[in-house]
Amino acid sequence: MNTTSGILAKYFHWFVPPATILQSLVLLVTRLYWGWAFFLTGKGKLMNLEKLTEFFQSLGIPLPHAQAILAGTTECVGGLLLLAGFCSRLISIPLTILLTVAYLTADLDRAKMIFSDPDKFLTADEFLFLFVVVLVFVFGPGKFSIDWLIKRKVSPPSGNA
């Protein structure tokens, strides 16, 4: 019994801390890649507002011009915040709403196939973007972020001093 607990203790001592660093590294790479993708997508929308407004109008979205500005701005600002790892969980909320609305308007047919034909749901443009913001919302931005630095400064040190 002591041997088993000794093996488990070695496992946790040697394996878990490096795996935690890998978790933050994966979150960093994910935020950088998809944050930049969000920024470029939002910038593209803002640079082509007339075309996007017409598209939104064809979908029956109310106030299409204002919604186009809101969508593009949310993606631009959200992408930059994800890149920096600043207010990451907070910006994940409007990005999730934006992507859900996109699924339910522009790709409603694919959204309806979530169970009947998952491949169509998973290949929609919105899926990976939505997956990333949910991932960041649930796990946070990781240790390589402004959010983590702020948390370190604000949180009292733990342990006995």
Quick: pLDDT tens for 56-105. Answer: 999 999 999 999 999 999 999 999 999 999 999 999 999 999 999 999 99
Q: What is the pLDDT of residue 132?
A: 97
- Residue 156: pLDDT band (50, 70, 90) is confident
- Distances from the Cα of 133 to the Cαs of 18, 34, 57, 144, in angstroms? 24, 9, 27, 17
Q: What is the pLDDT of residue 161?
A: 42
Query: Could you tell me which of 97, 109, 84, 101 has the C-alpha nearest to residue 134?
Result: 97
Res 130: pLDDT: 96
